[in-house]
Amino acid sequence: MHESRSVDRRAMLKIAGGSVAALGLTTAGCGGGAGAGDGTVTLRYSWWGADDRAKRINETIKLFEKKFPKIKIKTDFQPYPDFWKKFNTQASGGNPPDVFQNAIGFLRKYDAKNVLLDLHPQAKAGHLRLEGFRAGLEKFGEVDGKLLGVPVGSNSMALVIDKNVYTKAGVKPEQGWTWDEFDAALKSISDKTDRAGDSGMYGVMYLYDLYLRQNGKAFFTEKSLGFTEADLKQWWEKGKKDTESGLVAPTKKVVQAKPKSAVTAELAAGEFTWDNFTNRYTAEGKSEYGLAPIPTTDGKKTGQYLGSLMLSGSKRTKHPKEVAQFIDFMVHDPEVAKIMGYDRGVPSTTSQYEAFKPTDPVAKEIAAYEESLVAAGVLEPITPHPAGADVCEMAFMRLAEEVGLGTRSVDEAVKQFFTESKTALGS
């Protein structure tokens, strides 16, 4: 559901959404990791991220190889868009890595292409533990009865705010506040400070999903879109109105500020994003930033769920047992959590969650925010995204931005979105 912080989300999705078949074949042969005459096997492990994540992961691999001396790990990492470009090429050639980082938006896509290993048999054989996960996360990677990914960390949507601006405006968000109260907060911020209230929430697909879930729908069903053209027209018309009134920052200025956030660029007092991205704001900006609850329709239901990065296995691997053992170690071993911290979100298992106690204020706030969601009882299951969901997200962001810039009317944008999405989803 996330990453990388430094790369434009639309560029990522454009690359990741490309057809595996269209990207050609690799020159290498098929199959998984290599085996040696002494029984040692080598697994290829790929992930996306920056140098700091690579350093941490390499430390965890040293621990794994010490515990499992007959399993060697060959690593490969790329920035987010480069990862999916390379992965698509490997998959099209029948040579994907044995184990790799994955996300909810790609499970059905690659399952349909016969790429992902069902890990349930390995769990039944005792090579992968599915107990000890927080808040039902062990079910997060299940699709149509198959276990296609195992969570390594969790995150959830939140409202990241500039605390100083909110305080100046006299706004104090609390769990259960409504969209009407949120709108009043935006007006108070706009009236009492030099900022707009929000950076442009109407192009955030995952936020719109929560809004729909609050109203008995969802962005996706298992095979198609879960809302109507009339629903989206109402959402984007409000976005256009709020932008024109100054409650939401001007889209042109938000675009010009990229890759910097509109919040740290001091255009807006807040924006909706994943809770574990809070580190970005502290690194970019000069103010104090924090997490506020998602507004609700009825004062109770937020529609939220815990998202997650996952580890998946290749269906082509020659070593499914060893893949499962590697994943089990990475999600359960306490020492791994002490090394990784919250780099990939809050640890998904209780053993790792309890092993790492954050000391910096940002990580503490992320942990407290997710604990508050569990305590409030607002978390729900997520519907696994259908194949083509990544293309829908890219279209949603692009068209919402065009509405904000005034280069496309709401009616045109809505019709174009449904046209592109139905093509991508095959519905």
Q: Do 287 and 245 share a structural domain?
A: yes
CB atoms within 10 A of CB 386: 23
Tens digit of pLDDT for each residue in 302-338? Answer: 999 988 899 999 999 999 999 999 999 999 999 999 9
Q: Is the same domain home to 267 and 292? A: yes
Distance CA 174, CA 183 (A): 14
Q: How many CB atoms lie within 10 A of CB 34?
A: 15
Tokens standing for 194? 């030099």
Buried b (16+ CB within 10 A) or exposed e, 111-121: bebebbbbbee
Non-local CB neighbours of 32 within 8 Å, separated by 6+ positions: 43, 44, 98, 314, 316, 317, 318, 319, 323
CATH of the domain at 233: 3.40.190.10
pLDDT in tens, 271-301: 999 998 887 888 889 999 999 999 999 999 9
- Are 278 and 171 contained in the same domain? yes
Per-residue pLDDT band for 105 (boundaries 50, 70, 90) equals: confident
Question: Residue 263: its pLDDT value, please?
Answer: 97
> Which run of H or E residues covers position 54?
helix 51-67
Hey, what long-range contacts does 177-183 have (CB within 8 A, 24 or more apart)?
177/293, 177/295, 177/296, 177/299, 178/295, 178/296, 178/297, 178/298, 178/299, 179/211, 179/295, 179/296, 179/297, 181/295, 182/295, 183/247
Q: Is 198 helix (H, G, I), strand (E, B) or coil?
A: strand
Residues 17 and 133 grouped into a single domain: yes
Structure token pair of residue 284: 């970019």
| Same-domain check for residues 25 and 79 | yes
Mean pLDDT of 103-112: 89
Residue 338 included in any domain: yes
In a domain, 369, yes or no: no
Does 378 map to a domain? no
Q: How confident is the model at residue 34 (pLDDT cuts 50, 70, 90)?
A: low
Q: Is 258 helix (H, G, I), strand (E, B) or coil?
A: coil
- The verdict on 173 and 285 lying in the same domain is yes
Q: How many domains does the chain have?
A: 2
Split at pLDDT 50, 70, 90, the class of 33 is: low
Same domain, 146 and 25: yes
**Residue type, position 67, single letter:** K
Residue 361 forms part of a structural domain: no
User: Mean pLDDT, to the nearest integer, of 368-381?
Assistant: 90
Range of the domain at 244: 157-304+384-425
User: What sign does the CA torsion over 320, 321, 326, 327 have?
Assistant: positive
Please check whether residue 377 lies inside any domain of the structure.
no
Q: How many CB atoms lie within 10 A of CB 364?
A: 13
Does a structural domain hold residue 367?
no
pLDDT over 70 (residue 26):
no
Write down the pTM of the prediction.
Answer: 0.80
Averaged pLDDT for residues 57-79: 96
Is residue 145 one of the residues assigned to a domain? yes
Question: Do 74 and 177 reside in the same domain of the chain?
Answer: no
pLDDT at 277: 80
The answer to whether residue 51 is domain-embedded is yes
Whether residues 68 and 170 fall in one domain = no
